Amino acid sequence: MSYLDTIKVVSLSIGIIATLCGGLYFLYRQYVKKRNWYRKKLQGKWTNEGDILAVETHYMDIEIDTDKDDGEITGIICSRSLTTNEELTNISINGKLKFKKAKVMFSSVIQGKLISYGEAYLKFINGKRIAWELRTGDNRFFPLKTEIWRID
């Protein structure tokens, strides 16, 4: 292999590596932009009350705040059962948003004791609604599955 052949191989390798790095950087920027859009979109007030086509077992009002830097979710949920008329108010929500999905836990502190009510998965549906799925906890207080939408 001559000196010119070595130069050709090295320059071709550098060109390929630079192109790959540029493409990966572009994809990463698009991912970060979309992730931040979801974090911003999740903030606000959400509810499942008012859908005339759905058969709901519970009405929920959720107020969510999302940290734009790490996706940490905090908020408050109020839920009312339509069958037993039991109501839980000011229950804390904590979780982490990972792109379009989040795992949230809800709990409250009563007389100095932490009471855990369970956990649920949240998933964006077409960017406007969120699917709620109760994973653990008592379905007396929260629906097993529902869709929520923004009200603010």
Cα 4 from Cα 7, distance rounded (Å): 5
Segment 119-125 long-range contacts (CB within 8 Å, at least 24 positions apart): 119/95, 122/95, 124/38, 124/41, 124/100
Cα 99 from Cα 64, distance rounded (Å): 16
| Tens-binned pLDDT, residue by residue, of the chain (152 aa) | 788 888 899 999 999 999 999 999 999 999 999 999 989 998 999 998 877 777 888 899 999 999 988 989 999 999 988 888 888 888 999 999 988 899 999 999 888 899 899 999 999 998 789 999 999 987 888 889 999 999 87
Q: What is the pLDDT of residue 56?
A: 82
Cα 138 from Cα 144, distance rounded (Å): 9
Find out whether 147 and 124 touch, Cβ atoms under 8 Å: no
Residue with tokens 């698009």: 30
Cα 23 from Cα 25, distance rounded (Å): 5
